[in-house]
Structure 1
Protein backbone atom coordinates (compact mmCIF):
# COMPACT_ATOMS: atom_id res chain seq x y z
CA UNK A 1 0.00 0.00 0.00
CA UNK A 2 2.89 2.36 0.71
CA UNK A 3 4.20 1.73 -2.80
CA UNK A 4 0.79 2.58 -4.25
CA UNK A 5 0.55 5.83 -2.28
CA UNK A 6 4.03 6.78 -3.45
CA UNK A 7 2.92 6.09 -7.03
CA UNK A 8 -0.01 8.48 -6.57
CA UNK A 9 2.34 11.19 -5.32
CA UNK A 10 4.72 10.57 -8.23
CA UNK A 11 1.95 10.72 -10.84
CA UNK A 12 0.57 13.95 -9.45
CA UNK A 13 3.96 15.64 -9.48
CA UNK A 14 5.13 14.35 -12.84
CA UNK A 15 1.97 14.71 -14.86
CA UNK A 16 -0.42 17.11 -13.18
CA UNK A 17 1.80 19.87 -11.88
CA UNK A 18 4.73 19.87 -14.25
CA UNK A 19 5.56 22.47 -16.82
CA UNK A 20 2.39 21.90 -18.86
CA UNK A 21 -0.16 24.70 -18.33
CA UNK A 22 -3.37 22.62 -18.40
CA UNK A 23 -3.75 20.24 -15.46
CA UNK A 24 -6.76 18.74 -13.69
CA UNK A 25 -6.73 16.65 -10.51
CA UNK A 26 -9.56 15.15 -8.49
CA UNK A 27 -11.40 12.08 -7.27
CA UNK A 28 -13.42 9.61 -9.31
CA UNK A 29 -15.79 7.32 -7.33
CA UNK A 30 -17.67 4.65 -9.26
CA UNK A 31 -20.02 1.75 -8.54
CA UNK A 32 -21.26 -1.04 -10.78
CA UNK A 33 -23.87 -3.77 -10.32
CA UNK A 34 -24.09 -6.67 -12.80
CA UNK A 35 -26.43 -9.62 -13.19
CA UNK A 36 -25.96 -12.60 -15.51
CA UNK A 37 -29.11 -14.42 -16.59
CA UNK A 38 -29.45 -18.16 -17.07
CA UNK A 39 -29.16 -17.76 -20.86
CA UNK A 40 -25.83 -15.92 -20.60
CA UNK A 41 -27.10 -12.35 -20.97
CA UNK A 42 -25.38 -9.83 -18.69
CA UNK A 43 -27.20 -6.71 -17.48
CA UNK A 44 -25.14 -3.96 -15.83
CA UNK A 45 -25.78 -0.55 -14.32
CA UNK A 46 -23.02 1.87 -13.38
CA UNK A 47 -22.65 5.34 -11.90
CA UNK A 48 -19.39 7.29 -11.91
CA UNK A 49 -18.67 10.87 -10.93
CA UNK A 50 -15.65 13.15 -11.36
CA UNK A 51 -15.09 15.49 -8.41
CA UNK A 52 -12.35 18.01 -9.16
CA UNK A 53 -10.23 19.91 -6.66
CA UNK A 54 -7.52 21.43 -8.89
CA UNK A 55 -7.88 22.95 -12.36
CA UNK A 56 -5.16 25.06 -13.98
CA UNK A 57 -5.12 26.24 -17.59
CA UNK A 58 -3.63 29.19 -19.54
CA UNK A 59 -7.02 30.84 -20.14
CA UNK A 60 -8.24 30.92 -16.52
CA UNK A 61 -6.99 31.56 -13.01
CA UNK A 62 -5.89 28.40 -11.15
CA UNK A 63 -8.82 26.76 -9.37
CA UNK A 64 -7.97 25.00 -6.09
CA UNK A 65 -11.44 24.37 -4.67
CA UNK A 66 -13.91 21.50 -4.96
CA UNK A 67 -16.11 21.43 -8.06
CA UNK A 68 -18.39 18.86 -9.66
CA UNK A 69 -16.94 18.03 -13.07
CA UNK A 70 -19.48 15.48 -14.35
CA UNK A 71 -21.58 12.44 -13.40
CA UNK A 72 -22.44 9.54 -15.71
CA UNK A 73 -25.31 7.06 -15.44
CA UNK A 74 -24.79 3.97 -17.60
CA UNK A 75 -26.70 0.85 -18.51
CA UNK A 76 -25.48 -2.16 -20.52
CA UNK A 77 -26.80 -5.44 -21.83
CA UNK A 78 -24.39 -8.02 -23.22
CA UNK A 79 -24.28 -11.57 -24.49
CA UNK A 80 -21.50 -14.11 -24.10
CA UNK A 81 -20.65 -15.71 -27.44
CA UNK A 82 -18.32 -18.17 -25.71
CA UNK A 83 -16.41 -18.18 -22.38
CA UNK A 84 -13.90 -15.68 -23.78
CA UNK A 85 -15.87 -13.33 -26.09
CA UNK A 86 -18.89 -11.11 -25.41
CA UNK A 87 -20.76 -8.36 -27.27
CA UNK A 88 -22.48 -5.46 -25.50
CA UNK A 89 -24.64 -2.44 -26.21
CA UNK A 90 -25.21 0.41 -23.77
CA UNK A 91 -26.54 3.87 -23.03
CA UNK A 92 -25.12 6.73 -20.96
CA UNK A 93 -26.66 9.92 -19.65
CA UNK A 94 -24.14 12.55 -18.53
CA UNK A 95 -24.76 15.46 -16.19
CA UNK A 96 -22.25 18.18 -17.09
CA UNK A 97 -22.39 21.39 -14.99
CA UNK A 98 -19.93 23.13 -17.34
CA UNK A 99 -21.82 22.35 -20.56
CA UNK A 100 -24.97 20.69 -21.88
CA UNK A 101 -26.06 17.31 -20.56
CA UNK A 102 -25.59 14.57 -23.13
CA UNK A 103 -26.81 11.16 -24.30
CA UNK A 104 -24.46 8.46 -25.56
CA UNK A 105 -25.02 5.16 -27.35
CA UNK A 106 -22.33 2.49 -26.91
CA UNK A 107 -21.34 -0.69 -28.75
CA UNK A 108 -18.48 -2.99 -27.78
CA UNK A 109 -16.90 -6.41 -28.14
CA UNK A 110 -14.66 -7.83 -25.40
CA UNK A 111 -12.11 -10.63 -25.42
CA UNK A 112 -10.66 -12.34 -22.35
CA UNK A 113 -7.27 -13.98 -22.77
CA UNK A 114 -6.50 -16.18 -19.74
CA UNK A 115 -2.79 -16.65 -19.16
CA UNK A 116 -0.86 -18.27 -16.33
CA UNK A 117 -0.99 -15.88 -13.39
CA UNK A 118 -2.63 -13.05 -15.35
CA UNK A 119 -6.04 -12.19 -16.83
CA UNK A 120 -5.61 -10.21 -20.04
CA UNK A 121 -8.56 -8.33 -21.54
CA UNK A 122 -9.14 -6.63 -24.89
CA UNK A 123 -12.05 -4.25 -25.51
CA UNK A 124 -13.06 -2.60 -28.78
CA UNK A 125 -15.73 0.07 -28.34
CA UNK A 126 -17.51 2.68 -30.43
CA UNK A 127 -19.80 5.39 -29.07
CA UNK A 128 -21.85 8.32 -30.31
CA UNK A 129 -22.56 11.36 -28.10
CA UNK A 130 -25.46 13.77 -28.64
CA UNK A 131 -26.01 17.06 -26.79
CA UNK A 132 -28.20 20.11 -27.38
CA UNK A 133 -26.64 22.84 -29.52
CA UNK A 134 -23.63 20.63 -30.32
CA UNK A 135 -22.74 18.45 -33.28
CA UNK A 136 -22.61 14.70 -32.57
CA UNK A 137 -19.28 13.24 -31.49
CA UNK A 138 -18.16 9.84 -32.77
CA UNK A 139 -15.40 7.83 -31.12
CA UNK A 140 -13.49 4.58 -31.62
CA UNK A 141 -11.67 3.02 -28.66
CA UNK A 142 -9.34 0.12 -27.89
CA UNK A 143 -8.37 -0.90 -24.35
CA UNK A 144 -5.82 -3.46 -23.20
CA UNK A 145 -6.15 -4.43 -19.53
CA UNK A 146 -4.61 -6.89 -17.10
CA UNK A 147 -5.46 -8.24 -13.64
CA UNK A 148 -2.54 -9.83 -11.81
CA UNK A 149 -3.02 -11.69 -8.50
CA UNK A 150 -0.56 -10.58 -5.85
CA UNK A 151 -0.67 -13.94 -4.06
CA UNK A 152 -0.20 -17.07 -6.13
CA UNK A 153 -1.33 -17.86 -9.66
CA UNK A 154 -5.08 -17.37 -9.16
CA UNK A 155 -7.31 -14.88 -7.37
CA UNK A 156 -9.29 -16.06 -4.36
CA UNK A 157 -11.66 -14.15 -2.03
CA UNK A 158 -9.96 -11.74 0.41
CA UNK A 159 -6.86 -11.54 -1.83
CA UNK A 160 -5.38 -8.46 -3.50
CA UNK A 161 -4.58 -8.01 -7.18
CA UNK A 162 -2.97 -5.41 -9.44
CA UNK A 163 -4.93 -3.69 -12.22
CA UNK A 164 -3.28 -2.16 -15.27
CA UNK A 165 -4.81 -0.80 -18.46
CA UNK A 166 -4.18 1.54 -21.36
CA UNK A 167 -6.82 2.83 -23.77
CA UNK A 168 -6.49 4.82 -26.96
CA UNK A 169 -9.46 6.87 -28.18
CA UNK A 170 -9.97 8.52 -31.57
CA UNK A 171 -12.80 11.09 -31.76
CA UNK A 172 -14.42 13.08 -34.56
CA UNK A 173 -16.65 16.14 -34.14
CA UNK A 174 -17.20 19.30 -36.20
CA UNK A 175 -14.75 18.09 -38.86
CA UNK A 176 -12.08 17.88 -36.14
CA UNK A 177 -10.32 14.66 -35.22
CA UNK A 178 -8.76 14.19 -31.79
CA UNK A 179 -6.87 11.57 -29.81
CA UNK A 180 -6.94 10.72 -26.12
CA UNK A 181 -4.99 8.21 -24.05
CA UNK A 182 -6.07 6.77 -20.68
CA UNK A 183 -3.66 4.90 -18.43
CA UNK A 184 -4.84 3.21 -15.22
CA UNK A 185 -2.72 1.66 -12.48
CA UNK A 186 -4.12 0.43 -9.19
CA UNK A 187 -4.86 -2.34 -6.73
CA UNK A 188 -8.04 -4.23 -5.99
CA UNK A 189 -9.33 -6.69 -3.44
CA UNK A 190 -11.74 -9.53 -4.06
CA UNK A 191 -14.00 -9.25 -1.02
CA UNK A 192 -16.18 -12.24 -1.87
CA UNK A 193 -16.87 -14.32 -4.94
CA UNK A 194 -19.31 -11.63 -6.09
CA UNK A 195 -17.82 -8.34 -4.84
CA UNK A 196 -14.56 -6.43 -5.26
CA UNK A 197 -13.18 -2.97 -4.55
CA UNK A 198 -10.48 -1.03 -6.37
CA UNK A 199 -8.40 2.11 -5.92
CA UNK A 200 -6.37 3.39 -8.86
CA UNK A 201 -4.69 6.28 -10.62
CA UNK A 202 -6.48 7.24 -13.86
CA UNK A 203 -4.16 9.45 -15.93
CA UNK A 204 -5.59 10.95 -19.14
CA UNK A 205 -4.00 13.06 -21.87
CA UNK A 206 -5.76 14.72 -24.79
CA UNK A 207 -5.85 17.89 -26.93
CA UNK A 208 -2.57 16.91 -28.57
CA UNK A 209 -3.20 19.28 -31.47
CA UNK A 210 -3.54 22.31 -29.17
CA UNK A 211 -0.66 24.49 -28.00
CA UNK A 212 -0.42 22.42 -24.83
CA UNK A 213 -1.53 18.90 -23.97
CA UNK A 214 -4.22 18.62 -21.32
CA UNK A 215 -3.34 16.35 -18.38
CA UNK A 216 -6.05 14.94 -16.11
CA UNK A 217 -5.24 12.81 -13.08
CA UNK A 218 -8.07 11.13 -11.18
CA UNK A 219 -7.88 8.99 -8.06
CA UNK A 220 -10.51 6.31 -8.61
CA UNK A 221 -12.41 4.43 -5.92
CA UNK A 222 -14.59 1.61 -7.22
CA UNK A 223 -17.05 -0.97 -5.89
CA UNK A 224 -18.19 -3.77 -8.20
CA UNK A 225 -20.76 -6.49 -7.57
CA UNK A 226 -21.88 -9.26 -9.90
CA UNK A 227 -24.47 -11.97 -9.45
CA UNK A 228 -25.75 -14.84 -11.58
CA UNK A 229 -29.08 -16.60 -11.92
CA UNK A 230 -29.22 -20.18 -10.70
CA UNK A 231 -29.31 -22.66 -13.54
Structure 2
Protein backbone atom coordinates (compact mmCIF):
# COMPACT_ATOMS: atom_id res chain seq x y z
CA UNK A 1 0.00 0.00 0.00
CA UNK A 2 2.84 2.44 0.92
CA UNK A 3 4.59 1.72 -2.38
CA UNK A 4 1.42 2.47 -4.33
CA UNK A 5 0.85 5.76 -2.47
CA UNK A 6 4.47 6.74 -3.10
CA UNK A 7 3.95 6.05 -6.81
CA UNK A 8 0.87 8.28 -6.90
CA UNK A 9 2.66 11.13 -5.11
CA UNK A 10 5.59 10.87 -7.53
CA UNK A 11 3.17 10.87 -10.46
CA UNK A 12 1.39 14.03 -9.29
CA UNK A 13 4.70 15.84 -8.71
CA UNK A 14 5.86 14.95 -12.21
CA UNK A 15 2.52 15.93 -13.68
CA UNK A 16 2.58 19.35 -11.98
CA UNK A 17 6.09 19.97 -13.26
CA UNK A 18 5.55 18.91 -16.86
CA UNK A 19 1.81 19.35 -17.44
CA UNK A 20 0.80 21.72 -20.21
CA UNK A 21 -1.99 24.31 -20.26
CA UNK A 22 -4.39 22.15 -22.31
CA UNK A 23 -5.73 19.93 -19.55
CA UNK A 24 -8.91 17.88 -18.98
CA UNK A 25 -9.96 16.02 -15.85
CA UNK A 26 -12.67 13.38 -15.83
CA UNK A 27 -14.16 10.22 -14.37
CA UNK A 28 -14.26 6.79 -16.06
CA UNK A 29 -16.52 4.24 -14.34
CA UNK A 30 -16.63 0.83 -16.01
CA UNK A 31 -18.29 -2.56 -15.45
CA UNK A 32 -16.80 -5.68 -17.06
CA UNK A 33 -18.69 -9.01 -17.11
CA UNK A 34 -16.87 -12.14 -18.26
CA UNK A 35 -18.05 -15.71 -18.79
CA UNK A 36 -15.90 -18.73 -19.55
CA UNK A 37 -17.42 -20.62 -22.49
CA UNK A 38 -14.81 -23.39 -22.54
CA UNK A 39 -11.24 -24.06 -21.41
CA UNK A 40 -9.98 -22.00 -24.36
CA UNK A 41 -12.76 -19.45 -24.92
CA UNK A 42 -14.07 -16.53 -22.88
CA UNK A 43 -16.78 -13.96 -23.62
CA UNK A 44 -16.30 -10.50 -22.09
CA UNK A 45 -18.77 -7.60 -22.19
CA UNK A 46 -18.39 -4.13 -20.72
CA UNK A 47 -19.97 -0.70 -20.46
CA UNK A 48 -17.97 2.45 -19.75
CA UNK A 49 -19.08 6.03 -19.21
CA UNK A 50 -16.88 9.11 -19.61
CA UNK A 51 -17.64 12.34 -17.75
CA UNK A 52 -15.52 15.49 -17.94
CA UNK A 53 -15.42 17.36 -14.63
CA UNK A 54 -12.92 20.04 -15.69
CA UNK A 55 -11.65 21.47 -18.97
CA UNK A 56 -10.35 24.81 -20.25
CA UNK A 57 -13.89 26.21 -20.20
CA UNK A 58 -14.50 24.97 -16.62
CA UNK A 59 -17.39 22.86 -17.87
CA UNK A 60 -18.91 19.73 -16.39
CA UNK A 61 -20.19 17.50 -19.17
CA UNK A 62 -21.02 13.91 -20.02
CA UNK A 63 -18.72 12.93 -22.85
CA UNK A 64 -19.61 9.45 -24.12
CA UNK A 65 -20.61 5.84 -23.44
CA UNK A 66 -18.81 2.75 -24.79
CA UNK A 67 -20.44 -0.68 -24.97
CA UNK A 68 -18.13 -3.53 -25.96
CA UNK A 69 -18.17 -7.28 -26.57
CA UNK A 70 -15.05 -9.46 -26.89
CA UNK A 71 -14.38 -13.10 -27.69
CA UNK A 72 -11.04 -14.27 -26.28
CA UNK A 73 -9.32 -17.46 -27.46
CA UNK A 74 -6.46 -18.97 -25.48
CA UNK A 75 -3.59 -20.22 -27.65
CA UNK A 76 -1.57 -21.77 -24.82
CA UNK A 77 -0.91 -21.16 -21.12
CA UNK A 78 0.36 -17.59 -21.59
CA UNK A 79 -0.90 -16.41 -25.00
CA UNK A 80 -4.34 -15.46 -26.31
CA UNK A 81 -6.07 -13.51 -29.09
CA UNK A 82 -9.13 -11.27 -28.82
CA UNK A 83 -11.67 -10.19 -31.42
CA UNK A 84 -14.00 -7.43 -30.33
CA UNK A 85 -16.54 -4.76 -31.20
CA UNK A 86 -17.31 -1.42 -29.51
CA UNK A 87 -20.24 0.89 -30.16
CA UNK A 88 -19.67 4.44 -28.91
CA UNK A 89 -22.45 6.94 -28.22
CA UNK A 90 -20.88 10.40 -28.33
CA UNK A 91 -23.26 13.37 -28.33
CA UNK A 92 -25.55 12.72 -31.31
CA UNK A 93 -23.02 10.53 -33.14
CA UNK A 94 -22.58 6.76 -33.11
CA UNK A 95 -19.10 5.37 -33.76
CA UNK A 96 -18.39 1.70 -34.45
CA UNK A 97 -15.03 0.10 -33.71
CA UNK A 98 -13.62 -3.36 -34.36
CA UNK A 99 -10.33 -4.52 -32.91
CA UNK A 100 -7.92 -7.44 -32.66
CA UNK A 101 -5.57 -8.17 -29.74
CA UNK A 102 -2.60 -10.47 -29.27
CA UNK A 103 -1.82 -10.98 -25.57
CA UNK A 104 1.17 -12.45 -23.76
CA UNK A 105 1.21 -12.89 -19.97
CA UNK A 106 4.29 -14.19 -18.15
CA UNK A 107 4.49 -15.02 -14.43
CA UNK A 108 7.63 -14.51 -12.35
CA UNK A 109 7.07 -15.59 -8.73
CA UNK A 110 4.64 -12.95 -7.41
CA UNK A 111 4.87 -10.71 -10.51
CA UNK A 112 2.80 -10.85 -13.69
CA UNK A 113 4.12 -9.19 -16.83
CA UNK A 114 1.65 -8.59 -19.65
CA UNK A 115 2.02 -7.43 -23.26
CA UNK A 116 -0.82 -6.51 -25.59
CA UNK A 117 -0.51 -5.73 -29.29
CA UNK A 118 -3.64 -4.29 -30.89
CA UNK A 119 -5.00 -3.07 -34.20
CA UNK A 120 -8.27 -1.07 -34.40
CA UNK A 121 -10.66 0.13 -37.09
CA UNK A 122 -13.12 3.05 -36.65
CA UNK A 123 -16.30 3.44 -38.71
CA UNK A 124 -18.25 6.73 -38.74
CA UNK A 125 -21.00 8.21 -40.87
CA UNK A 126 -19.72 10.46 -43.68
CA UNK A 127 -16.12 9.69 -42.80
CA UNK A 128 -13.75 7.13 -44.22
CA UNK A 129 -12.56 4.22 -42.10
CA UNK A 130 -9.65 5.13 -39.84
CA UNK A 131 -7.04 2.86 -38.27
CA UNK A 132 -5.07 2.84 -35.04
CA UNK A 133 -2.45 0.53 -33.57
CA UNK A 134 -1.42 0.24 -29.93
CA UNK A 135 0.96 -1.56 -27.59
CA UNK A 136 0.57 -1.94 -23.83
CA UNK A 137 2.88 -3.36 -21.19
CA UNK A 138 1.61 -3.96 -17.66
CA UNK A 139 2.86 -5.24 -14.31
CA UNK A 140 0.67 -6.76 -11.60
CA UNK A 141 1.78 -7.66 -8.08
CA UNK A 142 -0.07 -8.67 -4.89
CA UNK A 143 0.63 -6.53 -1.85
CA UNK A 144 0.78 -9.66 0.33
CA UNK A 145 2.23 -13.04 -0.57
CA UNK A 146 2.85 -14.45 -4.03
CA UNK A 147 -0.72 -14.47 -5.31
CA UNK A 148 -3.91 -12.45 -4.89
CA UNK A 149 -6.40 -14.18 -2.59
CA UNK A 150 -9.90 -13.11 -1.58
CA UNK A 151 -9.97 -9.92 0.52
CA UNK A 152 -6.46 -8.94 -0.59
CA UNK A 153 -5.09 -5.93 -2.46
CA UNK A 154 -2.80 -5.78 -5.49
CA UNK A 155 -1.23 -3.10 -7.65
CA UNK A 156 -1.30 -2.90 -11.44
CA UNK A 157 0.81 -0.47 -13.46
CA UNK A 158 0.43 -0.02 -17.21
CA UNK A 159 2.12 1.94 -19.97
CA UNK A 160 0.49 2.16 -23.40
CA UNK A 161 1.38 3.71 -26.77
CA UNK A 162 -1.30 4.42 -29.42
CA UNK A 163 -0.65 5.59 -32.96
CA UNK A 164 -3.44 7.04 -35.12
CA UNK A 165 -2.61 6.64 -38.81
CA UNK A 166 -5.23 9.18 -39.93
CA UNK A 167 -4.18 11.96 -37.55
CA UNK A 168 -0.48 11.00 -37.58
CA UNK A 169 -0.63 11.26 -33.80
CA UNK A 170 1.00 9.33 -30.96
CA UNK A 171 -0.70 9.07 -27.57
CA UNK A 172 1.04 7.82 -24.43
CA UNK A 173 -0.91 6.49 -21.43
CA UNK A 174 0.20 5.77 -17.89
CA UNK A 175 -2.17 3.82 -15.62
CA UNK A 176 -1.39 3.07 -11.94
CA UNK A 177 -4.22 1.09 -10.27
CA UNK A 178 -4.95 -0.34 -6.85
CA UNK A 179 -7.04 -3.52 -7.02
CA UNK A 180 -9.03 -5.46 -4.46
CA UNK A 181 -10.15 -9.10 -4.86
CA UNK A 182 -13.55 -8.91 -3.17
CA UNK A 183 -14.65 -12.51 -3.85
CA UNK A 184 -13.60 -15.35 -6.13
CA UNK A 185 -16.03 -13.98 -8.72
CA UNK A 186 -15.44 -10.22 -8.61
CA UNK A 187 -12.79 -7.59 -8.04
CA UNK A 188 -12.54 -3.81 -8.24
CA UNK A 189 -9.76 -1.51 -9.41
CA UNK A 190 -9.28 2.20 -8.66
CA UNK A 191 -6.63 4.44 -10.11
CA UNK A 192 -5.52 7.01 -12.64
CA UNK A 193 -5.44 7.05 -16.43
CA UNK A 194 -3.13 9.82 -17.64
CA UNK A 195 -3.03 10.47 -21.41
CA UNK A 196 -0.55 12.65 -23.27
CA UNK A 197 -1.21 13.30 -26.97
CA UNK A 198 -0.57 15.59 -29.99
CA UNK A 199 2.84 16.51 -28.57
CA UNK A 200 4.53 15.57 -31.85
CA UNK A 201 2.58 18.47 -33.42
CA UNK A 202 3.55 20.89 -30.61
CA UNK A 203 -0.08 21.08 -29.43
CA UNK A 204 0.23 18.99 -26.28
CA UNK A 205 -2.98 17.72 -24.69
CA UNK A 206 -3.08 16.33 -21.15
CA UNK A 207 -6.04 14.30 -19.93
CA UNK A 208 -6.28 12.80 -16.47
CA UNK A 209 -9.06 10.31 -15.80
CA UNK A 210 -10.02 8.91 -12.42
CA UNK A 211 -10.91 5.31 -13.20
CA UNK A 212 -13.04 2.81 -11.28
CA UNK A 213 -13.62 -0.67 -12.75
CA UNK A 214 -15.70 -3.56 -11.42
CA UNK A 215 -14.87 -7.00 -12.85
CA UNK A 216 -17.51 -9.72 -12.54
CA UNK A 217 -17.03 -13.40 -13.50
CA UNK A 218 -20.12 -15.47 -14.19
Same fold judged by TM-score > 0.5? yes
State how far apart, in whole Å, the 2-side matches of 1:95 and 1:81 are.
Answer: 33
Query: Quick check: 1:31–1:224 contact (8 Å CA) kept in 2?
Result: yes
Match of 1:133 among 120, 126, 133: 126
State how far apart, in whole Å, the 2-side matches of 1:41 and 1:11 are.
Answer: 37
Query: TM-score, normalised on structure 1?
Result: 0.86
Match of 1:116 among 104, 109, 118: 109
Quick check: 1:42 aligned with 2:63?
no
Alpha-carbon distance change, 2 to 69 in structure 1, aligned in 2, over 3 angstroms: farther
State how far apart, in whole Å, the 2-side matches of 1:214 and 1:73 are.
Answer: 25
Q: Tell me the equivalent position of 1:59.
A: none
User: 1:159-197 deviations in whole A, cap 9, x for unaligned?
Assistant: 000010001111111xx4111111100200011122100
Structure 1 segments unaligned to the other structure (5+ residues): 57-61
Q: Tell me the equivalent position of 1:201.
A: 192
Q: Tell me the equivalent position of 2:25.
A: 25
Name the count of aligned residue pairs.
Answer: 218
State how far apart, in whole Å, the 2-side matches of 1:40 and 1:130 are.
Answer: 30
State how far apart, in whole Å, the 2-side matches of 1:115 and 1:2 are.
Answer: 22
**RMSD of aligned Cα (Å):** 2.2
Match of 2:69 among 27, 51, 75: 75
State how far apart, in whole Å, the 2-side matches of 1:107 and 1:23 are.
Answer: 30
Query: TM-score, normalised on structure 2?
Result: 0.91
Alpha-carbon distance change, 196 to 55 in structure 1, aligned in 2, over 3 angstroms: same
Match of 2:207 among 203, 216, 227: 216
Alpha-carbon distance change, 156 to 19 in structure 1, aligned in 2, over 3 angstroms: closer
